[in-house]
Amino acid sequence: MAAGSTIDALGQFELHPVLGSLGEALRFSQSPLFMLIAVVLVLAFLFIGMRPASVVPGRLQAAAEIGYDFIHDLAIGTMGEEGAAFFPFVFALFFFILAGNYLGLLPFSFTYTSHIAVTLALAVTVFLISILASLRFQGLGFFKHFMPAGAPVWLSPLLVPIEILSFLSRPVSLSIRLFANMVAGHVLLEVFAGFTIMLAGLGFFGHILAVAPIAINIALTALELLVGVLQAYVFAILTCIYLREAVAH
């Protein structure tokens, strides 16, 4: 928020207890609160949307079916028939991230995907499931991937650590990509909103100049709507790619 002549663009990411004394006792912050809200909204959207089960779907049912078909096609198209087993996980992951990204654009809300702890937990979950799937479908042959096929054996002391490091970097890159995009977008929105308030305090000419940051914020909001779904899609498709490597031998 703008305070005097300063703009605290990072204050919006601070966690604090909610729900009064109960939140204080449980150390329950706004991040898990909005996670629960996101889960309820997604479940309500799917339940209410699919409840009519009409042959000719209404708008809500059509939206629910499009979301279902989109992630289903993504999972099957990327992983093949084995993707059906992982479809519920990818579906839940996509909508959890999407809801978090969009909830954060509402006034007085909180973007839980802007915290590295959340995005890293999601990425580590994907990473561990991909390892378990690799061991399930490939057995001990999974470890052969750390030595590139056709490479001279004498290069293994160099190549194997590089491949392991590259493999272990997956959850880091996956989490930072989502976290960084959400933080950057919200910081820009806060900065230009602060500029609007500061310029509005300069009188008549300030009101005229304040139109520019307002217009920029409108454009940034539209961009954030695009980035919100794009980042959820990127997270989901990278998850599918990692799982495809696990099941495709």
- Return the pLDDT at 2: 45
What is the pLDDT of the chain when averaged over all its residues?
A: 85
Per-residue pLDDT reduced to its tens digit, 36-89: 999 999 999 999 888 877 767 778 888 888 999 999 999 998 888 888 889 999
Do residues 193 and 2 lie in contact, with contact meaning Cβ atoms separated by under 8 Å?
A: yes
Which residues make Cβ contacts (< 8 Å) with residue 222, sequence separation at least 6?
none
Higher pLDDT, 143 or 173: 173
- Return the pLDDT at 3: 45
- Return the pLDDT at 97: 95
- CB burial readout 19-51, b (16+ within 10 A) else e: eeeebeeeebbbbbbbbebbeeebeebbeebee
- Return the pLDDT at 5: 55
Q: What would the mean pLDDT of 151-161 be, rounded to a whole number? A: 78
Per-residue pLDDT reduced to its tens digit, 180-207: 999 988 888 888 888 777 777 777 677 7
Sort 55 into a burial class: Cβ within 10 Å, 0-12 / 13-18 / 19+: exposed
- Kind plus residue range of the DSSP H or E element containing 171: helix 170-200
pLDDT at residue 133 above 70? yes
Q: Where are the beta strands (DSSP E) in 58-182?
A: none
> Which is nearest to 100 in space by CA: 9, 232, 230?
232
- Return the pLDDT at 74: 92
Could you tell me the pLDDT band of residue 164, with boundaries at 50, 70 and 90?
A: confident
Do residues 249 and 141 lie in contact, with contact meaning Cβ atoms separated by under 8 Å?
A: yes
Distance between CA atoms of residues 240 and 49, nearest Å: 26
Q: Structure tokens of 188? A: 């820009």
- Return the pLDDT at 125: 95
Long-range own/partner contacts, residues 179-184 (CB < 8 A, 24 or more apart): 179/113, 179/114, 179/115, 179/116, 179/118, 179/119, 179/120, 181/227, 181/231, 182/101, 182/104, 182/111, 182/113, 182/114, 182/231, 183/13, 183/114
Which residue shows structure tokens 């289903």? 72
- Return the pLDDT at 1: 47
Could you tell me the pLDDT band of residue 7, with boundaries at 50, 70 and 90?
A: low
DSSP character at residue 29: B
- Return the pLDDT at 26: 79
Higher pLDDT, 59 or 1: 59
- Return the pLDDT at 230: 95
- Return the pLDDT at 13: 80
- Return the pLDDT at 54: 74
